[in-house]
Chain A
C-alpha cells in the first residue's frame, strides 16, 4: 500500500511538473502569442510573474514578448507606487539562457523594460518587472524619451477605457545583429507594442526603431504579426486590419 501511495505521489508530482505555467489571463482571451517563425522557437519558455507573463528566449537571452492586462484601478494604484527596485537574473532560467547583470554593465544600452515598471500595481509585481527576462538592450535616449511617452499614452488609454491588453516585445531584423556582454545578449533592431481594448473593439501596434529617435509608426495587428514572426490569436481577426493615425501626447 505504501508503495502504491508513493507511486501515486510521483505520478501527481510528474504531472504538476509537466503542466504549463498558468498565467494566460494576462493575454487577450486567455491566449498567449504564438511564434510563427520556427527559428525563434528553440529554447523558449514561459515565465509567469505576479501581473505579467514573459516568453523568454535562450537564443536572444531575453524576452520575445511580455504580456500584461491593465485596468483603470491597477493603473491608479501603479501611479502611487514608491519603491527601490533591483534588476535581477531570474533563477528559473537554465544556466546560460538568461542575460546577466554583467552583460548590461557598460554596454551603452539601457535595460529597457518590456512590461513597464510604471504599470505594476503592487510591490511584488514591481520588483519582478526588474527581471532581466523582462528587459532588452534598448537605446538610452529612446527608452527615456519616446518609449516613456508611448508607455504613458497607453496608461492614458487604460484610464479612459479600462480593460486593456498590452503585449510588448523586441524585433530582430536584418542579416546581422549586435550583441552585448559575455552572454551575447541580442540587441533588438525594433520594439513593438500591441494594444487591444475589448470595450472599444480597438487593436493596433506601435513600432519604433531601437535608436535615438522621436519617430514611431502605427501598424495594424496583421502587419506587426508579419513583421515580428509572432501571431496574436487572442485578438479578434476582424480587428486586425485597423490602423489608427497616432497616439495622443506622443
Chain B
C-alpha cells in the first residue's frame, strides 16, 4: 500500500521499472511510461497507480490549508574529499 507523503523512502514499482511512484514528505514523483493493455496485467497496473494517486489526492484534500505552491527546498551542498583511490 502506497501512503502518499508518509515518508521519503517508499517507491511503488509498476511493471518493473516502467513506472515508479517515489514517495516524499513534501513531494511525490511519478516517472516513466506505462502501457495499460486491455488485459489483467493492464488492470493490475492501473489499480496500483490509481491507489497511489488516490492516496495523493486524499492526503492533499485532508490538509486544512494548502499553499498555492510550496518553495523548492535547496539541496544540501555536497562535501569534498581527496580521492583515496587515485
Contact = CB atoms under 8 A, between A and B. Distances in A.
Interface string A104-144: 01111000000011111000001000100000000000001
Interface size class of A (residues with CB under 8 A): 35 or more
A133 to B, nearest CB: 15
B64 interface: no
B33 to A, nearest CB: 10
A215 interface: no
Contacts of A106: 73-76
B76 A108 contact: yes
Nearest to A118: B17
Nearest to A148: B17
Interface string B29-57: 00110000000010011001000000000
A78 B17 CA distance: 9
Contacts of B74: 106
Contacts of A83: 12-13
B75 A82 contact: no
A87 B1 contact: no
B13 A86 contact: no
Interface in A65-113: 78-88, 101, 105-108
B75 A85 contact: no
Contacts of A105: 8
A120 B17 CA distance: 10
B76 A39 contact: no
Interface in B64-86: 73-76, 78-86
A176 B48 contact: no
Interface stretch (A8-16, A48-56, A179-187): A179-187
A84 B17 contact: no
A29 interface: no
B5 interface: no
Interface of B: 1-2, 7-18, 20, 31-32, 41, 44-45, 48, 73-76, 78-86
Given A82-B13, A83-B13, A184-B79, 15 more contacts: A39-B84, A80-B15, A80-B44, A82-B45, A84-B12, A87-B11, A117-B16, A130-B11, A151-B17, A172-B85, A174-B83, A176-B83, A177-B82, A179-B80, A184-B81
